[in-house]
Amino acid sequence: MPAPKKPVRKGKSASQRTPSVPAGPPSTLEVDWAFFGELCRALALKVARDFDPEVILGIARAGAIPGVVVASILQREFASMVVHRPGKGEKPVLVSGPPATLQGRRVLVVDATCDTGATLALAVREVAELGPREVRSAVVIQTGEHRPDFEAFISPSFIVLPWDREVLQKGKLVVRPDYAERMTPR
């Protein structure tokens, strides 16, 4: 008598699952440039498996950087829009909308991180008003409950991106004051 077959496991294979940091008390994840580059590469590969965008739209400021990298890897057109969050916990505000050239095209809206999804939701709504053929969202690091269409990494941690670690004060680069207590000294 042949051995019973093992049930087929449905869901993502190990190569398709998004890596994540185990849940626990919020910590700080300092992302260096090399890790950031690998995350952008992973995001581009995930997108390419399931979606063929014609335009990558980066949400400036932070989303413009991964947006350009993903656009370069996928060899697609890049555009940007500007969304500003006046303060912690405040609603995002549209500063500069997406270009009208998105009409009738497949668009991927990219941001660096996503917690509440408010910035992504605003950006996707603005793009949708232009009448694209399809619009999807992507982030490098998902930090909260909101689920974009694509993410490279999931972490409950406070994220310090490589370009946010230091700021210029009195002519010198210093650790960003509002991040200082969360970061390890270098």
Task: Output the pLDDT for position 3.
Answer: 47
Average pLDDT over residues 84-111: 94
| Residues in Cβ contact with 5 at an 8 Å cutoff, skipping those fewer than 6 apart | none
Per residue in 160-172, pLDDT (tens digit) is 999 988 999 999 9
CA–CA separation, 147 vs 139, rounded Å? 9
Q: HSE on the CB side for 139, CA within 13 Å?
A: 27
Task: Output the pLDDT for position 88.
Answer: 78
Q: Which two tokens stand for residue 29?
A: 């994840």
Beta strands in 66-185 (DSSP E): 77-84, 93-96, 106-114, 134-142, 150-154, 158-160, 166-169, 172-175
Task: Output the pLDDT for position 15.
Answer: 44
Contact 47, 145 (CB under 8 A): no
**Alpha carbon distances (Å) from 62 to 102, 103, 132, 134:** 21, 24, 23, 23
Residue 115 has pLDDT above 80, yes or no: yes
Quickly state the pLDDT bin for 185 (edges 50, 70, 90). low
57 vs 10, more confident: 57
